[in-house]
Structure 1
């Protein structure tokens, strides 16, 4: 038979209710008593019955994480494992578990969220993206469960807690990094404009073009809907009468695919075209050549999202917060001054 609360109470010389309060970290129990009881629990190898505690507290001690797309696609993108690492670190410190959506389509992911919420499987949810016409966020707002979005919500930003970078500013700085090195013909390769990050990084690029009075048409700005179309976007850029000498790519994976497409056209990076990307993931460090990339501090995005959510679960507030994580330019070998 396993060790019980009664066994711990007897050896520690306290009541069973005191042991229960130590387990729940009750503020009225002194630190000295907590340390004494916890030491006995360790000596007796007493393990808390999490299921029983959660039933009493009406809590699952679990947060749900909504992935941007299917598990296969999400884990192929180096952004998601890193943001998940930040979420997991905070959850581990707070004794929370995580539960991921596993659907292979938008509708399947949405159904996963409904099951999480209505089945009371989670205390709150982190949505790892911000997307136009998304069904998940409106559902969470209507249901009233605590949730946090990674990315500025499109629509009701004032009613939602979110964690993000200043993507307009970061993208403007990426373009100006090339401009300050003599590049005047600069291309942009983004992503689907349904996503917040794509929309705001394109805006930042356009601001840099306008502020620096560059003579660039929309032909220099490509927003492929899927990774399979990146090669086509690169081909179109390089086929222009005045092809770009520099390219800003929306993320490291897009930049890597762009480099492969440029190689196929016998265009060398950075000798012929300089390349700047975003996120500073492991891809940027180990690509050939290593990518100049704006560090968006992905780990911190995940960590802060989890912290905000757990605080909201513990102490619900009418006021929603926005946390902006600063970005840092990391210069490597895919950029050089234009002669």
Structure 2
């Protein structure tokens, strides 16, 4: 049997109305009483229902939006405001609000999702990421709570509704683009391999090299964590190779901006000395120097369709599982240059 407000009241030796006031953070309740009641709530694993009136109609009219990092970190990346704008546009059209996660670690995110589900705070959840072996995704699947994902799931792909780009294909396409500009030494930088998007883009890069007859070299790959902690020295080491790359595929635009800065400090010019292509096509990409060639991944549409798919599942528990890749476009700017392969 689920824990009720009456169980909490009995254990804390207070009235149910006092528990209700503690949940609402009523200033009339002393801090001592609040601490006591909250300790009992935590010990009994009680999750208060914050939207009782809507639940009477079996709906909160709210969807949860879960990011892979805390909101303070996530909003440093222009991807998240744009994808959330897409979600909000869809949700508003159906008169739904959104509940943004605030957890800063995997554990905190998991606990917050459990609270959302057990506390019946939301009607469904959108995961704005796909992590390898993700505990939160597994929980939502196990309890059969309505959810969709922005990103291809690592497991149970045929059982989960998701929206994504074809990340293997677009990574393959950018390598092919660079190859036809004459580049034969092509590096790949960034991407946390705990996330499926990074694994897919790296696999697409590797497969493209095979398809055009170029070898894959670990010396041309810089992992996300290595780049974050040793960015300048790793770029310097890359450019000091006997055969340094003539082109770089950056995992996203933020990584590309940082690469350009390090190259400038090393007196390596983009695109005269090296070309760079990236993904996401943030609004700033047209204004950096040089303007960045980047794959537009339709971020707004990712959010918009993820919310549409979720609301369909919320309204019909038997709705079919759907998978959809949104279109992408390579936006050519000035960070890539054709080279004469006979002068290599």
* TM surpasses 0.5: yes
- Write out per-residue CA displacement over residues 67-104 of structure 1, whole angstroms, 9 at most, x where no aligned residue: 11111210001111111111011111111000111012
- Per the alignment, residue 303 of structure 1 pairs with 304
How far apart in 1 are the matches of 2:67 and 2:194? Answer: 15
Question: 1:134-145 alignment to 2 at 5 Å?
Answer: 134-145=134-145
- Per the alignment, residue 201 of structure 1 pairs with 201
- The structural deviation recorded for 1:229 is 4.0
- Per the alignment, residue 151 of structure 2 pairs with 151
SS at match of 2:139: helix
- Write out per-residue CA displacement over residues 113-137 of structure 1, whole angstroms, 9 at most, x where no aligned residue: 1111111000000000001122110
How far apart in 2 are the matches of 1:162 and 1:230? Answer: 33
Structure 2 segments unaligned to the other structure (5+ residues): 1-50
- Per the alignment, residue 28 of structure 1 pairs with none
Equivalent residues of 1:190, 1:249 under 8 A apart: yes
Question: 1:100-111 alignment to 2 at 5 Å?
Answer: 100-111=100-111
How far apart in 1 are the matches of 2:237 and 2:266? Answer: 11
Alignment partner of 1:81 is 2:81: yes
How far apart in 2 are the matches of 1:52 and 1:80? Answer: 30
SS at match of 1:208: helix
- The structural deviation recorded for 1:318 is 5.7
- Per the alignment, residue 218 of structure 1 pairs with 218
- Write out per-residue CA displacement over residues 25-61 of structure 1, whole angstroms, 9 at most, x where no aligned residue: xxxxxxxxxxxxxxxxxxxxxxxxxx78724421000
How far apart in 2 are the matches of 1:72 and 1:288? Answer: 27
- The structural deviation recorded for 1:326 is 1.6
Q: Give the CA RMSD over aligned residues.
A: 1.5
Compute the TM-score of the two structures, normalised by the length of structure 2: 0.81
- Per the alignment, residue 289 of structure 1 pairs with 290
Residues 157, 215 of structure 1: alpha-carbon distance in 2 compared, 3 angstrom cutoff: closer
- Per the alignment, residue 184 of structure 1 pairs with 184
- Per the alignment, residue 337 of structure 1 pairs with 338
Equivalent residues of 2:279, 2:296 under 8 A apart: yes
- Per the alignment, residue 233 of structure 1 pairs with 234
- The structural deviation recorded for 1:270 is 0.7
SS at match of 2:330: strand
Aligned length: 289
Structure 1 segments unaligned to the other structure (5+ residues): 1-50
Question: 1:51-62 alignment to 2 at 5 Å?
Answer: 54-62=54-62
- The structural deviation recorded for 1:305 is 0.2
- Per the alignment, residue 316 of structure 1 pairs with 317
Question: 1:118-129 alignment to 2 at 5 Å?
Answer: 118-129=118-129
Equivalent residues of 1:125, 1:147 under 8 A apart: yes
Equivalent residues of 2:293, 2:332 under 8 A apart: yes
- Per the alignment, residue 46 of structure 2 pairs with none
Compute the TM-score of the two structures, normalised by the length of structure 1: 0.82
Alignment partner of 1:115 is 2:106: no
Equivalent residues of 2:313, 2:319 under 8 A apart: no
Equivalent residues of 2:312, 2:319 under 8 A apart: no
- The structural deviation recorded for 1:231 is 3.3
How far apart in 2 are the matches of 1:192 and 1:287? Answer: 24
